[in-house]
A and B are shown apart, each in its own frame.
Chain A
Amino acid sequence: DAGVIQSPRHEVTEMGQEVTLRCKPISGHNSLFWYRQTMMRGLELLIYFNNNVPIDDSGMPEDRFSAKMPNASFSTLKIQPSEPRDSAVYFCASSLTGPHEKLFFGSGTQLSVL
């Protein structure tokens, strides 16, 4: 298996632009997580999907952030409009059944908003 695949690996954009991050979980995994990692705040859970349904989105910072999972093999995290404080590494992770199982992480997307 190729593991969790994220794209792009790096994204540089200007403030105010829309940013879309993509994730393909491991086939057969029912749970998908989006995390944000910064030096100041560490690893923050943004949203958790189970069977394509958002279960917990309490970590989504504000309305500028939205996440979708239209099918079991694809998820997106969108930021619109982007701001410099959104600069971070965004990780997608998947697991077989839920948050108590082993999480498999993608390589992350390094986002820089200028």
Chain B
Amino acid sequence: AQSVTQLGSHVSVSEGALVLLRCNYSSSVPPYLFWYVQYPNQGLQLLLKYTTGATLVKGINGFEAEFKKSETSFHLTKPSAHMSDAAEYFCAVSRLTGNQFYFGTGTSLTVIP
């Protein structure tokens, strides 16, 4: 079975501060892990994806995430928040075999000027 948990449904940071959005997964086999972003009134867009190989994954807009198998985590970070980063962020997990793709419940990021 697979699932994904996002800790914190709302996160607020000051402009220029570090962004840290948490995601933990459970999977019986090595997972594929994703972060998607949803801006208001839009569909989701892929930020980054981990499949195999290097555990630190760089994505668009300066975001990156690190796969930590020992902690079953895939936290999303950005060194310096911009106002344009305000959005809903979703962590997701799937695996190569099987048909399931699970989204977390999402974290709403607010950036304070």
Known: A55-B99, A107-B43. A99 touches B94 (CB 8 A): yes
* Contact indicator per residue, chain A 78-105, by CB within 8 Å of chain B (1) or not (0): 0000000000000101000011101101
A100 and B105 form a contact (CB under 8 A):
no
**Contact across chains for A45 and B44 when beta carbons are under 8 A apart:** no
Q: How many residues of B contact A (CB 8 A)?
A: 23
Name the one of B32, B43, B49, B104 contacting A91, with C-beta atoms under 8 angstroms: B43
**A98 vs B43: C-alpha distance when bound (angstroms):** 18
Contacts of A33 in B (CB 8 A): 101
Total A-B pairs, Cβ < 8 A: 50
For residue A48, CB closer than 8 A to chain B, the reply is: yes
Interface residues of B in 66-113 (CB under 8 A from A): 90, 94-96, 98-101, 103-106
Are A102 and B100 interface neighbours, CB within 8 A? no
Residue of A nearest to B51 (CB): A100
The residue in B34, B43, B95, B99 that gathers the most chain A C-beta atoms within 10 A of its C-beta is B43
Among candidates B42, B99, B104, residue contacting A99 with C-beta atoms closer than 8 Å: B99
A97 to B45, CA, bound (A): 17
Residues A42 and B103 in contact, CB atoms below 8 Å apart: yes
Q: Are A100 and B101 in contact (CB under 8 A)?
A: yes
> Are A107 and B101 within 8 A (Cβ)?
no
| Nearest 9 Cβ contacts at the A-B interface | A105-B43, A99-B101, A43-B103, A42-B105, A105-B44, A100-B94, A56-B99, A100-B32, A102-B46
Supplied contacts A43-B103, A93-B44, 17 more A-B pairs, CB within 8 Å: A42-B104, A42-B105, A48-B101, A56-B99, A56-B100, A91-B44, A99-B94, A99-B98, A100-B95, A102-B49, A103-B44, A105-B45, A106-B43, A107-B41, A107-B42, A107-B43, A108-B42
